[in-house]
Structure 1
């Protein structure tokens, strides 16, 4: 398994809120991919579904999304299997006095050794940009959660 990225991020929200957003994202992806609705309670370890994603050439490529671990407000791990290999991602959430620390890991296992070497070399060149983009995603996530909290406070008043 090639480790493409590992990142620690501190957000000023709670782990429970981050996890809730993650579940909403999975539910939305499932609905867009299958046309079916699923509840949060149905999401669990070993849950999987098929979907199509666009490859670099713009063509649809079938993939299988599989939840490897789902521990509420603590951990989420998933694999995305496709013809050329397997992508893995993992989020570990830890509440602290400043909010939540997120430990994010991403990896890739290509179908062949040559493709693995190609991804290792490419990841060297793109690692900095990938981390920067992922940090932006986490900042955006934090903003979404804070805005939802403000909206719900306004509704109560």
Structure 2
């Protein structure tokens, strides 16, 4: 299991406003259906194709096991080799920041797949944690940078309307 816990300098809503569009995009790319955020719910399921590390294409059934905006997004990815679980759980901290707990876990189908998953996890977990933390920090930076751009746009609009008067 991989678990990364971070304090992020963004609100839970800002964080979910980045996560949710990627979920909706994945559903659209996988199924051709346009889904709105209010249609996401616990046990929402769709199928998609993924390429393995060996280049083989495999079918995956994705089930959103928990969805509560802006608190938790958890999904299970079921394939012939086993089940992957991914969860983002966010809490609002007293200082206005977010506490994020990100978890990935794998349960192999059969003893050999489970042993293989355990062995790979043993070797790659440290690097995976660093990569995930880096990706989450990049999300945080993007949110903060876009927040600053939104502030700049607001100031420009305000200046323009004041100059017109």
Taking structure 2 as the reference length, the TM-score comes to 0.88
Q: Give the CA deviation at 1:98.
A: 5.6
Counterpart Cα distance in 1 of 2:120 and 2:55: 20
CA deviation after TM superposition for structure 1 residue 103, in Å = 0.8
1:149 corresponds to which residue? 147
Q: Distance in 2 between matches of 1:48 and 1:133?
A: 28
Moved over 2 A (4+): none
Match of 1:74 among 44, 67, 71: 71
Partner of residue 106, structure 1: 104
Aligned residues between the structures: 154
**Structure 1 match to 2:161:** none
- 1:25-84: per-residue Cα shift (whole Å, max 9, x none)? 101111122222111111111111111111011122111111011111111111001111
More deviation, 75-84/144-153:
144-153
- Mapping 1:67-146, distance limit 5 Å: 67-96=64-93, 97=95, 99-146=97-144
Q: Secondary structure of 1:87's partner?
A: strand
Q: Distance in 2 between matches of 1:156 and 1:109?
A: 48
**RCO (CA 8 Å, sep 6+): is it higher in 1 or 2?**
1
- Asked if 1:44 corresponds to 2:41, the answer is yes
1:64 maps onto 2:61 in alignment: yes
Q: CA deviation at 1:135?
A: 0.4
Aligned partner of 1:10 in structure 2 is 7
Q: Secondary structure at the match of 2:53?
A: coil
Matches for 1:13-32 after TM superposition, within 5 Å? 13-32=10-29
The structure with the larger Rg is: 2
Give the structure with the higher percent strand.
Answer: 1
> Once structures 1 and 2 are overlaid, which stretch shifts more, 35-44 or 147-156?
147-156
Runs (5+) with no aligned partner, structure 1: none
Give the gaps of 5 or more residues in structure 2: 156-165
